[in-house]
Amino acid sequence: MIRYSVIVPVKAINDYIRESVPKILDCDRADVEIIIYPDSTTTESWPQTKQIASGPGGPAKKRSLALRDAVGEILVFLDDDAYPAADFFSQLDTDFSNPETVAVGGPAVTPADDSFWQRVSGAVFLSRLTGGAPERYAPIGQPRFVDDWPSVNLSIRREVFIMLGGFDSNYWPGEDTKLCLDLVQKLNKKIWYNPKLIAYHHRRPGLIRHLKQVGGYGLHRGFFAKKYPATSRRLKYFLPSIWLTVVVIGGLLSVINPAIAPWYMRLWGLYVIVLVIATAWAWRFERSLGVLFTSVPYSILTHLVYGWRFVQGWLFTRQLVSKLR
């Protein structure tokens, strides 16, 4: 009997898949099937694993094919560049032993063997000031119910996924936020957060790819704050845009009236000091001073790019169309 169906969307079979599938199999569970959805299949094979060609499409479309193909009682959604910890399914066993639990999410932790620049990207997300939701990236806090969780490490009962009609393929990123919103509003349910349910998630290498990812988050969150405010119109999502507004207006006023410039620089200094203190908190998870030091300018740019893209999504975007990776 298959209890868990692990669903992995991917454009093409890649080195991440070649790493993640053996990691899943290392959990040594006979009641787990793995379904990979590439655009087109290859001749590569692994035990307990199926490749099913999906054709071109975004992750939301590919994940929703689990409605047709998966046989497991519980659907486990992982990104292609993520893999579970050794006790992952044992944690899920405990969580889903409660029949009232319909969905479970856990943190997506940066692997220790990621490159320097990947770890810098990961360090940006490790405090509430720099990333906004550190429990999504590190095993912190107490188990509790939440109303929004990313699909990099999200599990849901198949019968509930059927009731929701799968993911909304109009969004990526953001398809997980929409699914969770429907879970909350349509079914009056929530997601159980288990800090011990760890998946390891490789980060984006390099500043440009990091900012592109963050910008996508900002654009979709801004649009969702406008169209689906229940779980997206929260102060923490607006803070980068507020800071961006302060930066732009303060800079212009400093040019118009040089007397304002010293106060403007003091404000920047205070911001950087607070940012450094917040980054130092991440020492409990990232023990490289070089990584943490470098994550400070990364965080500054993250706030500005996310803030601008949030404004774009909030004010200037009428409709989002999912883009392929």
DSSP calls for 55-104:
-S--HHHHHHTHHHH---SEEEEE-TTEEE-TTHHHHHHHHHTSTT--EE
Percent of the chain with pLDDT over 70: 97
Domain boundary, last residue among 175, 205, 235: 205
Q: Are residues 177 and 267 in the same domain?
A: no
How would you classify the pairing of strands 74-78 and 4-9?
parallel
Q: Are residues 14 and 145 in the same domain?
A: yes
- Beta partners for residue 37, in sequence order: 9
For residue 248, is pLDDT > 90? Answer: yes
Query: Taking the chain, what is the end-to-end CA distance rounded to the nearest angstrom?
Result: 34
Report whether 6 contacts 76 (CB < 8 A): yes
Q: Are residues 108 and 192 in the same domain?
A: yes
Q: Are residues 147 and 60 in the same domain?
A: yes
For residue 171, is pLDDT > 90? Answer: no
Assess if residue 83 is contained within a domain: yes
Name the domain count of the chain: 2
Average pLDDT, the chain: 94
For residue 324, is pLDDT > 60? Answer: no
Higher pLDDT, 282 or 128: 282
Q: Are residues 8 and 125 in the same domain?
A: yes
For residue 221, is pLDDT > 90? Answer: yes
Q: Is 246 exposed, middle or buried (0-12, 13-18, 19+ CB in 10 A)?
A: middle
Q: Are residues 228 and 170 in the same domain?
A: no
Q: Could you tell me the pLDDT band of residue 325, with boundaries at 50, 70 and 90?
A: very low
Domain that holds residue 264: 220-316
d(CA 184, CA 72): 23
Residue 4 to residues 24, 90, 265, Cα–Cα distance (Å): 11, 11, 54
> Tens digit of pLDDT for each residue in 83-106?
999 999 999 999 999 999 999 999
Q: Are residues 226 and 171 in the same domain?
A: no
For residue 320, is pLDDT > 90? Answer: no
Domain boundary, last residue among 178, 205, 232: 205
Assess if residue 146 is contained within a domain: yes
For residue 72, is pLDDT > 80? Answer: yes
Q: Are residues 59 and 163 in the same domain?
A: yes
The token pair that represents 230 in the structure block: 């229940």
Quick one: which of 121, 69, 166, 87 has its CA closest to 292?
121
Q: Are residues 179 and 70 in the same domain?
A: yes
Domain boundary, last residue among 205, 236, 265: 205
Q: Could you tell me the pLDDT band of residue 322, with boundaries at 50, 70 and 90?
A: low
For residue 256, is pLDDT > 90? Answer: yes
For residue 1, is pLDDT > 90? Answer: no
**CATH number for the domain harbouring residue 21:** 3.90.550.10
- Beta partners for residue 144, in sequence order: 193
Assess if residue 213 is contained within a domain: no
Q: Are residues 197 and 284 in the same domain?
A: no
Q: Are residues 151 and 28 in the same domain?
A: yes
